[in-house]
Amino acid sequence: MTSQVSSPAEQNDEADGAVVGGQRRPAAGGKDVRRVDRVIIRFAGDSGDGMQLTGDRFTSETATFGNDLSTLPNFPAEIRAPAGTLPGVSSFQLHFADHDILTPGDAPSVLVAMNPAALKANIGDVPRGAEVIVNTDEFTKRAMQKVGYETSPLEDGSLDGFQVHPVPLTTLTVEALKEFDLSRKDAGRSKNMFALGLLSWMYHRPTEGTERFLKTKFAKKPEIAAANIAAFRAGWNFGETTEDFAVSYEVAPAATAFPPGTYRNISGNLALSYGLIAAARQADLPLYLGSYPITPASDILHELSKHKNFGVRTFQAEDEIAGIGAALGAAFGGSLAVTTTSGPGVALKSETIGLAVSLELPLLIVDIQRGGPSTGLPTKTEQADLLQAMYGRNGEAPVPIVAPRTPADCFDVALEAARIAVTYRTPVFLLSDGYLANGSEPWRIPETDELPDLRTQFASGTNHTLDDGTEVFWPFKRDPGTLARPWAVPGTPGLEHRIGGIEKQDGTGNISYDPANHDFMVRTRQAKVDGIEVPDLEVDDANGDARLLVLGWGSTYGPITAAVRRLRAAGQSIAQAHLRHLNPFPRNLGEVLKRYDKVVIPEMNLGQLATLIRAEHLVDAVSYNQVNGMPFKAEQLATALKEAIDG
């Protein structure tokens, strides 16, 4: 739950959504239809109320309609926290617009609160003037007392600043389903679909997709499918007929925000899964995932397990160590090997990552970062594993690091991580996070012939001539350009060789304790990673006269870009750059940093990128940090950046 309240009602890009003004026109049935450019909706309820599903469906309807969108699911780590309590509140925020947007929005223009706990936990984020739809059926004395409401917020005037729509959602749903042979309790379960129907009416969402979805989801229980569809339609009709909802809103498709193409909505973890499958295809290697379930990475294991017809092998191991161990074994055998995890799992895998560094085998380590240390906040986001990925091993064990910036970008970054791993024969870290993993946005589906060619050559013969003229295979004789060693997979005749975690003699790969050789090998492994070709950092300096550069990495891209747009709209000059490659850094980074008087680095940690930047480039970068488990808000960042510009 975020504790921040952003400034209300500012009709600005990415701000918050109290809907102000807009074009009015009367609709059929005498109701007003108001055209707005964007809306932020938050569905909030008990963990068991189906808020994530409701949000997903509304998102899907919105995507199909063609709006740009960005989502923020927010749920507790407990599967079913005690009903009606504040810790049990689950919410889903969706920002959609007729133009290009970058964040799930700072504050909701509409809050749907399914019970008192949901209202209490979320009302602080809602700006005055916004609409609040409450399920009055749940506002019993006992339920209110459970969350500390002495008096009913629906009656004591505390919601006077909002447009409150009291709706007996449960009663209406049960009433709508009285024809069905369902208990009151079972009928009441469909109240989320009633709410979805109501919101779908309010925002003119297409409904066919949801009805189709319900039919498929409950294909084996047609009665339940029919009941949910009936509740969904009843919610729509309720909006259409009741006087309480006098206005509905139109948000036109974001036609100009998108380049031509076919689009779908996609979450970060799904995009990442698809990216891995695509990378294996482009590398012409079988994909092997060794993994142990951990939030928020498990969805990748689930997704890849569905696609065995792509030759994808998924191995649910006995622990994190075995997950990466099996992946490394598969890499030795010539698979595109992946392990997926979150921060605590990375800690357990560290020794094996070191082995992969030493063996110089390709391996992808996907870390979906979450709040730490230790178990931390399993379902909340954070970027605090950067230094763990960078340095968290014994010895000098450099590992390349890449990070996606948006949910859809996870697809491209998976391919990029595979490119580096396969080309340079090295483990590679991919640092996503909980916000990217579960958040979603429209994605232009790439044509498969646009994807990079990742094919590589396995070693097939001898590569060295001894002084006596004998042709031999040396497993650690490197490519002079990339410093990569040959990838000689078992089954290749004549290339039998042994590799291990003990220091190897340059060239032969035999065990070597020679001091000079170790020094050479340590420096060579470092040089290989330092020499990885990465694209130059692009700087967005619209006016060309900015004196402040805001530099980010990972999922802060959306809020930073939104903040930068605001500042520019307000006449400020500010330059922005976002790192995809964190190890090695782009070659031009030092030169970029030196162009600006001030460098500000917002991060969802206590300044880890800033530490690296300061160490490597001797730049007095200013850190701006938040570690509350939630992404930055655009308004908050804009304010901080403005202060930095002025300061």
Partner 1 sequence: MADTTLEGPTGSDTLLKLVPKAEGKQSMKDFKSDQEVRWCPGCGDYAVLAAVQGFMPELGLAKENIVFVSGIGCSSRFPYYMNTYGMHSIHGRAPAIATGLASSRRDLSVWVVTGDGDALSIGGNHLIHALRRNVNLKILLFNNRIYGLTKGQYSPTSEVGKITKSTPMGSLDAPFNPVSLAIGAEASFVARTVDSDRKHLTEVLRQAADHNGTALVEIYQNCNIFNDGAFEVLKDKQQAEEAVIRLEHGAPIRFGTDGSKGVVRDPATGDLKVVAVTPENEADLLIHDSRAASPTTAFALSRLADPDTLHHTPIGVFRDVDRPVYDTLMADQLDTAIEQHGKGDLAALLAGGDTWTVVG
359 is a contact residue toward partner 1 (CB under 8 A): yes
Q: Which stretch, 111-119, 127-135, 499-507, 624-632, contacts partner 1 (CB under 8 A)?
A: 499-507
Among 23, 216, 309, 374, binds partner 1 (CB under 8 A): 309
99 is a contact residue toward partner 1 (CB under 8 A): no
Among 84, 197, 290, 296, binds partner 1 (CB under 8 A): 290
Q: Which stretch, 26-34, 74-82, 220-228, 285-293, contacts partner 1 (CB under 8 A)?
A: 285-293
268 is a contact residue toward partner 1 (CB under 8 A): no
Minimum distance from CB of 404 to partner 1 (Å)? 17
User: Is the link from the previous residue into 166 a cis peptide, with omega within 30 of 0?
Assistant: no
Binding-residue total with partner 1 (CB under 8 A): 74
362 is a contact residue toward partner 1 (CB under 8 A): no
Encoding tokens for residue 520?
């050479």
Among 58, 245, 263, 632, binds partner 1 (CB under 8 A): 263
Q: According to CB under 8 A, which residues from 500 to 539 bind partner 1?
A: 500-502, 510-511
Q: Which stretch, 11-19, 135-143, 271-279, 610-618, contacts partner 1 (CB under 8 A)?
A: 271-279
DSSP codes, 303-349: HHHT-GGGT-EEEE-SSHHHHHHHHHHHHHTT-EEEEEE-HHHHHHH
HEC assignment per residue over 346-414: HHHHHHHHHHHHHHCCCEEEEEEECECCCCCECCCCCCCCHHHHHHCCCCCCCCCEECCCCCCHHHHHH
Pairing of strands 68-74, 89-97: antiparallel
Q: Using CA atoms, how far apart are residues 234 and 368, in angstroms rounded to an integer?
A: 39
Beta strands in 115-196 (DSSP E): 131-135, 163-167
Q: Using CA atoms, how far apart are residues 133 and 43, in angstroms rounded to an integer?
A: 9
Minimum distance from CB of 624 to partner 1 (Å)? 35
Biggest alpha carbon distance in the chain?
96
Q: Which stretch, 232-240, 302-310, 433-441, 517-525, contacts partner 1 (CB under 8 A)?
A: 302-310
Residue number, 26 or 260, with CB nearest to partner 1: 260
277 is a contact residue toward partner 1 (CB under 8 A): yes
- Bridge partners for 599 per DSSP: 549
Residue of 17, 12, 80 whose CA lies nearest to 45? 80
Among 214, 317, 575, 612, binds partner 1 (CB under 8 A): 317
Encoding tokens for residue 457?
């050559």
Q: According to CB under 8 A, which residues from 451 to 490 bind partner 1?
A: 458, 489-490
Minimum distance from CB of 517 to partner 1 (Å)? 16
Residues written for the chain: 647
Q: Using CA atoms, how far apart are residues 101 and 95, in angstroms rounded to an integer?
A: 8
497 is a contact residue toward partner 1 (CB under 8 A): yes
Residue number, 355 or 436, with CB nearest to partner 1: 355
Minimum distance from CB of 98 to partner 1 (Å)? 13
Residue of 23, 20, 29 whose CA lies nearest to 243? 29
Q: Which stretch, 85-93, 277-285, 421-429, 536-544, contacts partner 1 (CB under 8 A)?
A: 277-285
- Tell me the CA end-to-end span of the chain in Å, nearest whole number: 31
Among 39, 154, 169, 326, binds partner 1 (CB under 8 A): 326
Minimum distance from CB of 318 to partner 1 (Å)? 4
Among 82, 148, 494, 535, binds partner 1 (CB under 8 A): 494
Among 37, 78, 186, 351, binds partner 1 (CB under 8 A): 351
Q: Please list, in sequence order, all residues whose beta carbon lies within 8 angstroms of the beta carbon of residue 201, skipping any fewer than 6 positions away.
A: 235, 236, 237, 238, 239, 240, 245, 248
Minimum distance from CB of 446 to partner 1 (Å)? 7
Among 26, 29, 157, 259, binds partner 1 (CB under 8 A): 259
Minimum distance from CB of 314 to partner 1 (Å)? 9
Q: According to CB under 8 A, which residues from 407 to 446 bind partner 1?
A: 445-446
Minimum distance from CB of 573 to partner 1 (Å)? 32
Question: Tokens 């031509």 map to which residue?
Answer: 260
Separation of CA 67 from chain center: 19
Minimum distance from CB of 228 to partner 1 (Å)? 18
Burial readout 28-54 (b: 16 or more C-beta within 10 A, e: otherwise): eeebebeebebbbbbbbbbbebbbbbb
Q: According to CB under 8 A, which residues from 363 to 402 bind partner 1?
A: none
Among 144, 198, 304, 337, binds partner 1 (CB under 8 A): 337
Q: According to CB under 8 A, which residues from 196 to 255 bind partner 1?
A: 209, 255
Residue number, 191 or 349, with CB nearest to partner 1: 349
Rounded alpha-carbon distances, angstroms, from residue 109 to 17, 61, 239, 242, 438: 4, 18, 17, 21, 21
Q: Please list, in sequence order, all residues whose beta carbon lies within 8 angstroms of the beta carbon of residue 106, skipping any fewer than 6 positions away.
A: 6, 14, 15, 16, 40, 633, 634, 635, 636
Dihedral class, residue 487 (left if φ above 0, else alpha if ψ from -120 to 50, else beta)? beta
Encoding tokens for residue 558?
């959306």
Minimum distance from CB of 293 to partner 1 (Å)? 15
Is the Cβ–Cβ distance between 201 and 240 less than 8 Å?
A: yes
Minimum distance from CB of 445 to partner 1 (Å)? 5
Residue number, 94 or 111, with CB nearest to partner 1: 94
Among 72, 322, 389, 599, binds partner 1 (CB under 8 A): 322
